[in-house]
Chain A
Amino acid sequence: MSVALFNALLELGDDHLILGHRVSEWCGHAPLLEEDLAMPNMALDNIGASRNIYTYAGEVEGKGRDEDQLAYLRLDREYKNCLLVERPNEDFAHTMLKQLYFSAFMEPYWQAALSSSDETIRGIAGKAVKEMAYHIRHAGEWVIRLGDGTEESAKRMKEAVEELTPYVEELFVMSADAQECADDGILPDREALRAQWNQTVANIFDQALLELPEVKYPQLGGRTGHHGEEMGFLLAELQYVQRAYPGMSW
């Protein structure tokens, strides 16, 4: 088995699962009915991608762990998602910006992964790349509406930008495992996607009358399992049934 690939897949799988979990928290509580349909859609895309990634990670590991064992039965320090995706929803502005930041990174990531040397990765990328393009469009349109909407929405959007931008850097960080996979041509080089991310976000921010702040002190730690305080509560909810009733099929 490739330890590096297994770990790099967990980084990816956890990003998608945790972001999907966060956006799913909105279901039934959205600001308008259309978003009560759109946000579960984004959650389904994110969680669906995590299932494919975990299933493959389990195969790569070769210890018989399936998607659920990987998704539900690890300790908090073993989750490798970046801090951005675990940030609480706060309000609709934060949520849409988080979706935009993530999808603006993942769309070119999956695009690059379409030419991976690994067939399964190519397959996962083929589906995910279309979904991420849609997420950029949907979340991007909201960022524009809110940024160039009312005084209040512009204020909230600016606050979200201030608060979430320091978490973006971690998307580009190459762990030793991710680097090994990139060197082998299995997974894309995250650092190389910076220009595309900047371009996507700059284009949307331009229309949203927003400015991307310079980040002097990026927030890092998720990839090495150093999560924020909110992550424990998220995992407590996510894992509740599996922990309370261990070893059962559902």
Chain B
Amino acid sequence: MYSQGLIGADGTTEETEEFLAAFQARIDREEKIEPNDPMPEGYRKTLIRQIGQHAHSEIVGMLPEGNWITRAPSLRRKAALLAKVQDEGGHGLYLYSAAETLGVSREQMTEELLSGKAKYSSIFNYPTPTWADMGTIGWLVDGAAIMNQIPLCRCSYGPYARAMIRVCKEESFHQRQGYELLISLCNGTKEQKDMAQDSINRWWWPSLMMFGPHDADSSHSEQSMKWKIKRFSNDELRQKFIDATVPQAEYLGLTVPDPDLKWNPEKNNGKGGYDHGEINWVEFWQVVKGHGQMNRDRIKARKKAWNDGEWVRDAALAHAEKRAARQTAQAAE
């Protein structure tokens, strides 16, 4: 999954106006931009940043859910969770590959994640203290991700758009799986239902933050919209998410922790929608800037995996070189 709130992208570009106009015309004709096509440097940089952040989010996102694999309460749930976390890793792999088409290596992107230069979705800096969180993450976090990602299937950059088609199918499955887990809890005992309510209390607001700052405060949105990397604004997507999700919470018999939430029939050009309370932007920026409860632990875990695995990667490389040398020697005989 991924947060749309692209952080720190530098969309500046230095090409001639003629080149930029021709490129924009291709975008406007809804042509897909492919890896070997000429593209403005700003477009390339924005995409590398966005796809990289997306890939990192998948990789870091394996941690909060991986936290429950060994403790899953039934073998069926354990298998489903393993498969889900494995899917996230798979998404990371496609996305790193998509970013590599823009001339950046996976190793380089990994170094940037570990050094703190590259960001990942802030949602993963919240802890998963209970089993119910495995359901809530699927339902709310993957649900919010899908809202962001469905439009990305039409992104102007071909490799990213195509990767997103498969990713979205899997995310949609995860969302249903998460919701089904919560149905089990909500149909269960009081302790189970309380566990589910406690979980939505903790995840509701961070999920809304996944859509990024208000449109008025989102500095990089305009150029991304023009280049059709992004198709809807943060606030539009957030509203869609709330309108789709509140009835799902009601079906579960759970309360959305927002006392200001109320149905407004005038909203969405008279189709109706929910008014909601204000997001705690202090908390949002605190977590984005690296001071959430789990920021340090997440990066520490990724660094540990990377550093502890160095000898394995070195050995694989050394073995491949030895093997190639032996083949060359054999061929020479």
Chain A positions within 8 Å of B, measured between CB atoms, are 17, 21, 24-25, 27-34, 36-37, 40-41, 43-44, 47-48, 50-51, 54, 67-68, 71-72, 91-92, 144-146, 148-150, 152-153, 156, 234, 237-238, 240-242, 245, 248-250
Contact = CB atoms under 8 A, between A and B. Distances in A.
Contacts of B312: 31-32, 92, 146, 153
Contact of B69 (A27, A34, A36): A27
B318 A150 contact: yes
A250 B74 CA distance: 7
Interface stretch (B23-31, B84-92, B151-159): B84-92
A146 B73 CA distance: 36
A145 B311 contact: no
Given A248-B189, A249-B184, A36 B73 contact: no
A250 B73 contact: yes
Contacts of B314: 149-150, 152-153
Secondary structure type dominating chain B contacts: helix
A156 B315 CA distance: 11
Nearest to A21: B70
Interface string B57-80: 001001100100111111111110
B308 interface: yes
B71 A31 contact: no
A242 B93 CA distance: 34
Contact of B316 (A24, A68, A149, A234): A149
A144 B82 contact: no
Closest 7 A/B residue pairs (Cβ)? A31-B309, A149-B315, A153-B315, A28-B66, A241-B73, A28-B62, A31-B312
B37 interface: no
A241 B69 contact: no
A37 B189 CA distance: 35
Contact of B315 (A30, A50, A145): A145
B319 interface: yes
Contacts of B75: 17, 47, 50-51, 54, 67-68, 71
**Interface extent on B, as a size class?**
35 or more
A47 B78 contact: yes
Contact of A148 (B71, B90, B305, B322): B322
A27 B62 contact: yes
Given A27-B82, A41-B86, A149-B319, 18 more contacts: A17-B75, A28-B63, A28-B85, A29-B66, A31-B308, A32-B313, A36-B62, A37-B90, A44-B79, A44-B83, A51-B79, A72-B73, A144-B319, A150-B315, A153-B312, A238-B70, A250-B77, A250-B185
Contacts, number: 141
Contacts of A240: 71
Contacts of A72: 73-74
A245 B92 contact: no
Interface string B125-150: 00000010000000000000000000
A40 B305 contact: no
Nearest to B187: A249
Nearest to B69: A24
B192 interface: yes
Among A21, A152, A156, A250: residue with most chain B CB under 10 A: A250
A27 B311 contact: no
13 contacts: A28-B63, A28-B89, A28-B305, A51-B75, A145-B316, A149-B316, A149-B318, A152-B315, A153-B314, A234-B70, A240-B71, A248-B191, A250-B184
A30 B106 CA distance: 16
B188 interface: yes
Contact of B309 (A32, A156, A250): A32
